[in-house]
Structure 1
């Protein structure tokens, strides 16, 4: 299978100014490959850098080192670590989706239009976009009486379902998921799993962090276990001493 994403020597660190300058590195020298249409899960304990990796892939964070080669239909093979902000913006609209742990509700915009608005830049008419949004809100168990309500007034679980509906509305080449099912009930988790499997069948590549290993195991083709990688590197360092 051909690759859609290849990370080489990826690293991120943050400089903290306390009583003295301190550098914190959630991960460093990380390399992995993801094939087109594959789902890669990222596992490891809290604080090991799982979410930071996803943010580097989406370019919410600028990587401190390394390369992220992405097979783009817009730009060909492009290094996301060095792409311009304009290129990243275009990729986010058309090729790379992201589901965060926390939904940032847009004031005074209905749940229906929060989802539908994601489709308008892709050439959908307003009616087509709203039809697609209604289908997804229904599948994700958002009651119809809430479709015209503002997500800012919703519970955390309801907001996350709107967040997922917005991401699933399109078929990006790459979808990045950060704890997408953490606040969902079991029935909605099953619906989310079904939607992810449908997207895989349509060719979408996914990279995700899941609190629930059972959920991740049902969709992942490979799992990048950061704890094992960390232990392996420590053993190599000890052997070289």
Structure 2
């Protein structure tokens, strides 16, 4: 479903005299249909940057991101047009960050239902499914008509998850989705994610808790190990001093 080859990203900080930061380079991995790849590593190693390259929030500096889409067949997300990316995000790719960003003064129920409306569902159908998803994620019914901006951090994150999961995407990207959730809600999220995997959703994500990630991930890419192997390979290529 997803094949990343020789991916690299470079950031240039002009305020520091064109200082360049390369969180990763020559990174390759594959994720099969209905599989979950977890990405692990310390802060600053590039986990979120990898996810943003796949979602195309960031444009990779080098490499390819081959995605088997329904709309376009196999498509390199690194080379896709902005129109193609917009269509894919609307139809088959969802991204969950740690922060909820929505239009103010829209009730939580309609925030979640919107994803289904974009796919042609009626308002009644979308709201029924949104109610079910909010209920599964422990959002009290008296909050469904309230504005998410007034919610606690954990409640906002549950709305954020509901909005992404209700669309049943082909590719789901998760950046610390359970960081602000309590234990019981985290277990519900893991249950939903495992259900979606069984239905064929492919996932790639970062979790702050290795134990939580281990309950849903089929494989884990540890960037510390990958970085060490890259450094070792580079060292071997340096000629020995005479």
Shorter-chain TM-score: what band?
over 0.9
The yes-or-no answer on 1:30 pairing with 2:66 is: no
Checking the alignment, whether the CA contact within 8 Å between 1:136 and 1:165 is kept in structure 2 is: yes
How many Å separate the matches in 1 of 2:226 and 2:174? 21
Indicate which of 50, 54, 77 corresponds to 1:53: 50
How many Å separate the matches in 2 of 1:19 and 1:148? 47
Indicate which of 136, 141, 145 corresponds to 2:138: 141
Residue 159 (structure 2) aligns with: 162
List gaps (5 residues or longer) in structure 1. Answer: none
How many Å separate the matches in 2 of 1:32 and 1:25? 18
Which secondary structure state, in structure 1, belongs to the residue aligned with residue 115 of structure 2? coil
The yes-or-no answer on 1:85 pairing with 2:86 is: no
Checking the alignment, whether the CA contact within 8 Å between 1:106 and 1:151 is kept in structure 2 is: no
Indicate which of 62, 65, 72 corresponds to 2:62: 65
Task: List structure 1 segments (4+ residues) > 2 angstroms apart after TM superposition.
Answer: none
Q: TM-score, normalised by structure 1?
A: 0.97
The yes-or-no answer on 1:230 pairing with 2:227 is: yes
RMSD across aligned C-alpha pairs, in angstroms? 0.8
Number of aligned residue pairs:
238
Residue 191 (structure 2) aligns with: 194
Q: Deviations over 1:71-128 (max 9, x none)?
A: 0111010000000000000000111110011111320100000000110011111011
How many Å separate the matches in 1 of 2:179 and 2:100? 12
Which secondary structure state, in structure 1, belongs to the residue aligned with residue 196 of structure 2? helix
Residue 17 (structure 1) aligns with: 14
